[in-house]
A and B are shown apart, each in its own frame.
Chain A
């Protein structure tokens, strides 16, 4: 079955009904196109579409997603070990379908936090949001859902009024909160970041905004599951975790982080590519580098800007920009060059007056930290940066 609804709550209710009652259950993210939906139906062998859009669709039975969904299955015992199928965020190309088991999905979830009120900037149909929904369900807490069409100030006011205690999002989501001027509308005990690199600047700014909160950045992906949580307030993670064994094993090979655990997805559906290597490790595609006794994330394989043959990871330059006190958010992109193939360009959201002097100061701060080819050759001050429905910064290639 594939669950495809406009709003999050009907999907959340449907998956509670359907887990254990169906062989396979795919959760469609809200921004799935009609063509992607058709492709997913074929790839995942879907025979039934649970939906609030009742238009007939080739190859599947269409069933309304309503509160009386399969009432007979309120549920003496599970009939199946239901496969949970999630879509990757598809930052590059079409989303992939990734198969999980419920034990794998709830593997990272520790003891219940009594009385917690959960919330997340993620949609609960994505891995990051589903983790929070499952925490709320298993812990007996309650949850405030976000709405992609809602402004960040309105959402924070609603979350604050509901007494949200535990809240998660990407670093891009959190930068939006800090930029909005409405950060104080919530008073969380626990702040979680995942899905993108958490640099020191965003961790420090969240610490300043929420001095009493536990602030944790998790490494997780739809394919690799939750690998670890870093709770010491520092960017990166301790190098000693690599090769240390335990339920989640980390390995660094070919510069990328690889993960083996019972929490990783079991397979890609409908694709020839295998998820794990011969040893059972999933390659995250995230490039890490050792600095002192910690590994730091540099960027994604495939995201590299080539400046005259020298590699630049956009995220590394963004971290340098974020370190400047006036820079609230930054996006680094390639600009094509007839001389070096590409050069580094940056768009930044700043606090205070945007003038030539500030641009010069930001560039000078970058030059003090970065090799010359990594320093943004062009720096543009913009009012805001786009964030994709997945919560990740919208990257574009000029």
Chain B
């Protein structure tokens, strides 16, 4: 699986667990409009840390917060690269 598909799978699974209606996932979709709340995002980040062994939010060389789904995917792709 690619990093992108792993991230998108987690988003879909967590949204389903939390009964959240997800907007169609595109790179330009703002996280705030995606249907995910901050609890969902926290869960996604923790599960991705377990799955990928990395948490780009906590790494020192990353001080920008992702705004869109595409930003979030890119964050994981950059630390995994």
Contact = CB atoms under 8 A, between A and B. Distances in A.
B18 A378 contact: no
A367 B50 CA distance: 22
Most buried by A among B38, B43, B45, B55: B43
A363 interface: yes
A243 interface: no
Nearest to A337: B42
Interface in B28-70: 38-39, 41-43, 45-47, 50, 55, 57-58
Given A338-B58, A367-B17, A378 B46 contact: yes
Given A308-B38, A363-B17, A337 B45 contact: yes
Interface in A208-249: none
Contact of A372 (B39, B41, B47, B50): B39
Nearest to A336: B58
A343 B45 CA distance: 11
A340 interface: yes
Contacts, number: 40
Contacts of B50: 378
B47 to A, nearest CB: 7
A335 B57 CA distance: 15
Contacts of B55: 338
A335 B58 CA distance: 13
- The binding surface of chain A is classed by DSSP as mixed
Most buried by B among A307, A367, A377: A377
A338 B39 contact: no
A205 interface: no
Interface residues of B, number: 14
A33 B41 CA distance: 43
B47 A339 contact: no
B57 A339 contact: yes
Interface string B5-40: 000000000000110000000000000000000110
Contacts of B41: 339
B72 to A, nearest CB: 11
Given A343-B43, A378-B46, A338 B18 contact: no
Nearest to A378: B46
B46 to A, nearest CB: 6
Contacts of A363: 17
A267 to B, nearest CB: 44
A339 B42 contact: yes
A373 interface: yes
What 7 A-B pairs come out closest when comparing CB atoms?
Answer: A338-B57, A339-B42, A377-B43, A340-B42, A337-B42, A343-B42, A339-B41
9 contacts: A307-B39, A307-B42, A337-B45, A339-B41, A340-B39, A343-B42, A343-B46, A363-B17, A378-B47
Given A343-B42, A345-B46, 5 more contacts: A307-B39, A337-B46, A339-B57, A377-B43, A377-B46
